[in-house]
Structure 1
């Protein structure tokens, strides 16, 4: 519903504020308290006012674009938003740093309609979340992918990371592996912590050793994967679950340097389903992140938030999928 002079006056009266304040709220300008903004937003919803979507900027904050999975996910979200006249801006940042805040603060007056935290600072526990406080103060809606901000109520769309571990452990167990290790991301990273919880739960469900020594935590890259896998190989694992495809490639390197072979001696499972996996040897079995489904949900939520429609703040969990290739085989003692 468009808003005219008469409606503007009615909303100002209902919210007990000036017409200028209503205008500032509609255009997401600074200088309006949280309580006043909430009162005006509620009045806008009562009259059925929806903000126009055309030619509005949507800021997507992502850790980097070197990892093809983030580039692929950003592209999918862009495909969902563009038909609605929304223009995504992709900003690679190091999560939780001043650069993340700088992007938001420098672009907010250019007409940011919403922000998407694409595995950015929303994935980090106990970090400086001032960027969210700033967004909240301006009334800019936002949605998070793969973890949210516990101190704020806002929509979150995530891969079911507990299910990721269940699928990987289940597959290795079916192949006869009884000594299974996890290459996990850093402590305090929400997806990493969830996968550790799911991993240990999956081991216990099958009566396997779930001791902490079977979890090695490093960064989500090749070097981190190699270091973590080297540790686990010394502890006698025959099956490795990696928390990213890059970590899995690091595990390949660690297995080779231990004079072992994938999958004859050690089976390896990755996570993400990066486009390159069919071109390495052996092709990597992986748990596929449901990028298309995530993008569909994010697109629906973002357009609803911008239009001023109510959206649930409950986290949406989307099931991953196991993609079988050639990096897993029967356990050595079963082959």
Structure 2
């Protein structure tokens, strides 16, 4: 189920209006009170146009009913890496949503908030970039260098963020409901009789990680479990981070673990093994993402699944609307995750 904070977003329209020709270009220039050359620069997202002038031209384009064509345009997708299967899966599904509109994706693995991210954008904006997708990139980091957003907005390039938005921007955001994900995982373990439940959380000031911590503490308090803050261990979203965090929690006597990624959950498997414990006989573990191949882990990992296909559907609808110069709602869209039961959870051992 998708939740939108605010009004419903604009509905998809598959038809596109006829692109502006030379006569219409003159009409747009007249309405905006600028030269035809300036209109052309705005249409082609060139440098050298002030924000006020660009907005005047954009308003004039709407007034004359112009929509940018969707054919032969590039969509840049910025993601932390493709080693994590969930990022590759999400990028592929967004690309599948864009292909029917003639949009071609360029997937760029970057370290979020670094010059490398800006370099990718700066080198490609003149190549006909129609839009940009921040796929769990610098949009997830509260204290990252967000100058890349200033660059994009100065060129009038629309963008959408996945799993967290930029605090200084009202651009559209589509996210998995991380609060709900924590509630689902805690509820499942609690129903199995677990009361000492720990959370393997991501780094501080990471938007999805912070949201899952909030959801975890809320879910624990709802069930009358106090002092749950002591059962939160924050590390990186990878195998080593999960192993280190789980080792500390297991030493503190937890019987159930909620991991913030499937990689962290597999790290918890290793921590349990090295501690002489069995999964799920001694400790139950819930992952997050639903990465491929989880059925083949030992035991198969119970996980909270990110709805990548529904995220992609919303991103595709919003992007084509933005490129087509149609209004969209800027409120964050939250998509409900779901629990995938496998073999890594069991009733607590009395």
Deviation at 1:33, TM superposition (A): 1.0
Residues of 1 paired with 2:225 and 2:349: CA distance? 17
Pairing partner for 1:61 from 62, 69, 78:
78
Aligned to 1:217: 234
Correspondence for 1:297 among 305, 314, 317 = 314
1:182 is matched with which residue: 192, 195, 199?
199
Please name the residue that 2:171 is paired with: 154
Equivalence for 1:252: 269
1:293 Cα deviation (Å)? 0.1
Tell me the CA shift for residue 6 of structure 1: 2.3
Contact 1:59 1:112 in 2 (8 A): yes
Match of 1:283 among 289, 300, 304: 300
Aligned residue for 1:91, secondary structure, equals strand
In structure 2, what is the equivalent of residue 75 of structure 1? 92
Q: What is residue 328 of structure 2 aligned with on the other side?
A: 311
What RMSD over aligned residues (CA atoms) do the two structures have, in Å?
A: 0.8
- The answer to whether the 8 A contact 2:220-2:228 is kept is no
Secondary structure of 2:293's counterpart equals helix
> Residue 135 of structure 2 aligns with which residue?
118
In the TM superposition, structure 1's runs of 4+ consecutive aligned residues that sit over 3 Å from their partners are: none
Shift of 1:8: 1.4
- Other-structure match for 1:325: 342
Equivalent-residue separation in structure 1 for 2:103 and 2:19 (angstroms): 18
**Residues 40-80 of structure 1: CA deviation (Å, up to 9, x unaligned):** 11111121100000010000001000011111111111111
Q: Separation in 1 of the partners of 2:109 and 2:75?
A: 14
Distance 1:171 1:210 in 2: 20
In the TM superposition, residue 5 of structure 1 has moved relative to its aligned partner by 2.2
Does residue 271 in structure 1 map to residue 284 in structure 2? no
CA contact (8 A) 1:179 1:209 kept: no
Higher deviation after alignment, 42-51 or 289-298: 42-51
Residues 302-329 of structure 1 deviation map (CA, whole Å, 9 limit, x = unaligned):
1111111111111000000000001000
Q: 1:46 — aligned with what?
A: 63
Match of 2:45 among 28, 41, 45: 28
Q: Is the 8 A contact 2:163 2:174 kept in 1?
A: yes
Return 5+ residue gaps in structure 2 as ranges. Answer: 1-17
Return the alpha-carbon distance in structure 2 between the equivalents of residues 99 and 299 of structure 1: 26
Q: 2:93, 2:309 within 8 Å by CA — same for their partners in 1?
A: yes
The residue number in structure 2 matching 1:15 is: 32
Question: Greater relative contact order (Cα 8 A, min sep 6): structure 1 or 2?
Answer: 2
Structure 1 residues not aligned, in runs of 5+? none
1:134-173 superposed matches below 5 A: 134-173=151-190
TM-score w.r.t. structure 2 length?
0.94
Shift of 1:18: 1.3
Distance 2:253 2:151 in 1: 49
